[in-house]
Amino acid sequence: MTGGIAKADSSLAVLPFNRAELRRRVGRVLAEMADRGADLLLVDQIDNLAYLTGYSHSGARYQGALISALGEVTLLIRSADRFVAQRQATVDAFVTYDDHEDEIALLVGLIRDSGAKMLAIETDSHFLTIERYERIQAGNPGLRFIDFGTVIWEHRLIKSTAEIEALRRACAIADAALQAGTDAIAAGRSEREPAIATYRKAISLGADNGRVAVFGYGSTVANMHGRLGERIMQAGELYFIEAVPQVCGYSGRIARPMAIGYVSDRQRAIAQRVVEIQDEFIAAMVPGAISGEIDRVARETMLREGLKKTYPQVSAYTLGFHAVPRTSDHTRIFMPNETWTLEPNMVFHVIHYSEGMPFSETVLVTQNGPVRLTQTAREIAVR
């Protein structure tokens, strides 16, 4: 039986970021709470929970943090996750529950016992379902709710030095995993062989996520989110790998096309032109640049030159910490109608493709211009 509040033992924590950085993040949230008149904040979106406390979980059961106006952080966790939480989290107290217990009833009681009158909630959270929200409301008559949606997502856009280092490490793994997968491509082999090689390399180098790549072969290369089957690779077909390994939850991403056996002159010319257009796109990613204008650098050119018949997708999006259920972060996207401006230490996944041949990079915006964190040669490989 659990449910009591236990003070956190900081000596057990093994943190990817130092406590001072985590406390600075909480401090920014406290300032926003004060501006909005909130005396308590509920954080349950895993990405944001990890950003503020250092703790992430599988999403199998509800878990979340309550942050008071004084900055005291109480973490509600599943007892099965207590060991991990104690090692990951910088918080003031833990409240644990066993699997037979009702964690939302515990949450309702914690909010009631806090005496809060104004509760800030992540209205865009995937975990604060309507049913859970209504139970909090019913169990706390008179409690007022304040919209805190998008706030922490926006705070996370500008990466710290430690976050950028995690992204650099993830990108190095992505490059190596991509190369391993490429080298496993050959006519006569199963289309799964490159996936096996990609996963093996990423995990062996320290990737901490289970989904480390996306693959396409043959007819599925037209869909950037294709699935593996049971086919045998044939000469003249295309293959692609998009490596997406994570380090401390931070994802480095890179995509490249491969030709099996040989590449046609037309395919090589298209691949080269996509790279040239993308180079121009990346070069425009400087502080103060307007996202929609950068997007049009590639979008209008690719449509005009017939490299794409239609172009409904984004050309780049935010990279950082990723957790279930979101596999990508679209807090900032590049589309022709976007008007937001780039700032130093933003990081993006830039992706362009034509006729089943994708090229993508992880790009860091710096005061001196864009820096590619992924380093694999920008060409179609032939295996």
Bridge-based pairing of strands 347-354 and 329-333 is unpaired
Question: Which element (helix H / strand E) includes 169?
Answer: helix 161-183
* Tens-place pLDDT, residues 11-43: 555 556 888 999 999 999 999 999 999 999 999
> How many CB atoms sit inside 10 A of residue 274's CB?
24
* Tens-place pLDDT, residues 44-64: 999 999 999 999 999 999 999
Q: How far is CA 68 from CA 28, 60, 104, in A?
A: 13, 26, 19
Residue whose C-alpha is closest to residue 42's, from 99, 108, 100: 108
Placement of tokens 């996306």 in the chain: 214
> How many CB atoms sit inside 10 A of residue 196's CB?
13
The reported pLDDT for the residue numbered 1 is 43
The reported pLDDT for the residue numbered 217 is 84
The reported pLDDT for the residue numbered 13 is 52
The domains found in the chain, sorted by start residue, are 5-155 (3.40.350.10), 161-382 (3.90.230.10)
Positions of the chain with pLDDT lower than 50, given as ranges: 1
Could you tell me the sign of the dihedral formed by the alpha carbons of 231, 232, 237, 243, in that order? positive
Residue whose C-alpha is closest to residue 227's, from 237, 219, 243: 219
- Give SS3 for 85: helix
Residue 119: phi and psi, rounded to 5, are -105, 120
The reported pLDDT for the residue numbered 10 is 56
Residue 300: phi and psi, rounded to 5, are -65, -40
Query: Which residues sit opposite 41 in a β-bridge?
Result: 67, 120
